[in-house]
């Protein structure tokens, strides 16, 4: 009898609902009732769609999500909990997980259920499933491979390099990455190519 696969669920590649996305697209305005459709893509191909309705008029506020899983319709009514901003700029909303009751800003869709991250049994992030060799290469040569990204960050229009005469943390991190990339010798790069 064959053994069941033990591949973990990867949180990074799971489908999810996000408070941040709902807020940016204007669905979480106070005292409103709006509906829309979310479509998830993988490699530019649509893999799933869900219709939703956000109601912040009623108390407690909620989002109703409807989608098909294995040709079976599923509907979830998820409570939204408002919280005062610590900056005094209105309210922030949080999902209340229908299974665990935890507050969160992201809910993941797994096997037709909408769950908090901690309810995903055996779930891991991509970094946790990488081999020892991949982790070594990333720590040793990561800055070398990321230099184009770092260069584009250093050229951002509104990047603050100094604040009150001191280098900002963000700019210090960019400089550190440049320094790490410049420390890699040609010999070490050749050794990396041989390792791969």
φ, ψ of residue 149 to 5 degrees: the values are: -65, -40
Please report the pLDDT score of residue 5 as a whole number. 67
Give average pLDDT by consecutive 10-residue segment, the chain, 196 residues: 75 91 89 91 90 90 92 93 84 91 94 91 86 82 77 83 89 84 77 72
**CB 138, CB 131: distance < 8 Å:** no
Please report the pLDDT score of residue 103 as a whole number. 94
Please report the pLDDT score of residue 21 as a whole number. 92
Q: What angle do CA 131, 135, 141 make, to 5 degrees?
A: 140
The domain segmentation of the chain, as residue ranges, is: 11-119, 130-195
What b/e sequence results for 137-158 when a residue is b if at least 16 CB atoms lie within 10 Å of its CB, and e otherwise?
beeebebbeebeebeeeeeeee
Q: For residue 18, how far is the Cα from the chain centroid?
A: 9
Structure-token pair, residue 156:
């951002």
Q: Diameter of the chain by CA atoms? A: 68
Please report the pLDDT score of residue 100 as a whole number. 92
Give the C-alpha separation, 66 to 85, whole Å.
Answer: 30
Structure-token pair, residue 183:
């420390």
Please report the pLDDT score of residue 1 as a whole number. 61
């Amino acid at each position: 009898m064959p053994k069941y696969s033990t591949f973990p669920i990867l949180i990074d590649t799971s489908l999810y609902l996000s408070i941040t996305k709902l807020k940016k697209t204007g669905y979480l305005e106070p005292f409103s009732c709006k509906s829309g459709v979310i479509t998830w893509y993988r490699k530019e191909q649509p893999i799933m769609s869900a219709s939703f309705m956000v109601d912040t008029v009623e108390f407690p506020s909620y989002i109703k999500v409807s989608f098909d899983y294995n040709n079976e319709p599923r509907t979830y009514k998820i409570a939204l909990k408002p919280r005062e901003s610590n900056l005094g700029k209105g309210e922030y909303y949080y999902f209340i997980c229908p299974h665990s009751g935890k507050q969160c800003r992201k809910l993941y869709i797994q096997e037709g259920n909408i769950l908090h991250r901690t309810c995903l049994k055996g779930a891991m992030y991509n970094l946790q499933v990488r081999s020892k060799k991949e982790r070594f290469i990333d720590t040793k040569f990561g800055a070398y491979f990321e230099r184009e990204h770092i260069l584009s960050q250093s050229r951002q229009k509104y990047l603050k390099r100094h604040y009150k005469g001191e280098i900002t943390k963000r700019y210090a991190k960019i400089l550190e990455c440049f320094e790490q990339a410049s420390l890699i010798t040609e010999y070490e790069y050749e050794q990396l190519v041989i390792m791969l």
